Amino acid sequence: MSLSVVIRSKDEAERLRLTLTALARQTQPAEVVVVNDGSRDHTAAVLDEATGWMALRVVHHEKPRGRSGASNAGARAARCPVLLFLDGDTLADPDLVRRHSAAHAGRKDIVGRGEAFHLRCTRFLLDPETGTPWPREAERFARLPAGELDRLRVTRRQILDDFDAVARRAELGIYPGGAPRRLQELELDALRHHPDCTVLWAAACGSNLSVPREAFLAAGGFNEQIDINEHRELALRLYDAGLRTVLVAGARSYHLTHRSGWRDPLEETDWEAAFYAAHPIPSVKLLAVFWACLSPQSRLAAEERISSLPDLEAAARGETGVNYDAVRARLGLRPLGRPSVVAAQPSDRL
């Protein structure tokens, strides 16, 4: 086998069972490493059960170490030359492993980014297999018309026998909503049509991301001080090491959405301060501005908007003439100080 799938999972036992089911039916086999990051539900029992029908390498953490720490532990336990990171609430298309493996064949200079979709139908379900709702949603489900629950469920049998029926319900984007979909469209467009764009590290995906293991370990793995957008920070360090983010076309993943646990990077901003401290360059400061521009509620003037990754690159070069410190202040984003790289200085690290 040439690829290890590293799954980080915490307190999502029912979804993890479906994630493992999808990996058990891949068109190309892979090593599967699961990091149980201090779960307090029955994740351990799900993993014990899964070892009866698939090969697993399992790492248990007594206390949670966070997304970055769990991912690093899984990478150290993995044995294959390519790592593919996946979340424990995400289904792999049957061809996911094969496509990532093919992208890395004969190459050590790429970070592979797949196409991320989501299943909106699962957002109110504690257990997508049985259709059991979250306790707070019980009253809503009691009012569902006959047959509606069956249209919401995602089962192991569907994954094994008719994955296309699952995929047909999916929508582009990791989460529901116009902004996540638009961000996904812009990232995929940049990867397809602007391969020389210097900020493609910003198109890295937190789940459905493949990296040469040797390069990952040489770079120090994920920054454990960052637990949102840790994948983009890693991709930037790998960019500095000579790797480039590329699209792995057709390598699709499907997030089993839920209503709890979602973290908004425009509201939880500790990641941004740590990211900028490690990389005090203009493009890092502009990431949050770019994402804020995708909101239909954004009131920025047209000339202030960053509407694509090439736009982000131009803004980082200082080509727009816009004072983005003032823009950040109007958006309510914390000050991050001046970048250490002058935008006009010749450099491809923006």
Report the distance separating Cα 135 and Cα 124, nearest Å. 9
Amino acid present at 349: R
Under 8 Å between Cβ of 196 and 86: no
Low-confidence ranges of the chain (pLDDT < 50): 340-347
Global pTM?
0.93
What tens digit of pLDDT does each residue of 40-75 get?
A: 999 999 999 999 999 999 999 999 999 999 999 999
Which residues in 179-207 are b (16+ Cβ under 10 Å) and which e?
bbbbbbebbbebbeebeebbbbbbbbbbb
Residue 251 token pair: 């390598």
- Torsion of the alpha carbons at 28, 107, 117 and 180, rounded to the nearest 10: 170
**pLDDT value, residue 262:** 59
Q: Which domains does the chain have, with CATH numbers?
A: 3-121+170-256 (3.90.550.10), 270-330 (no CATH)
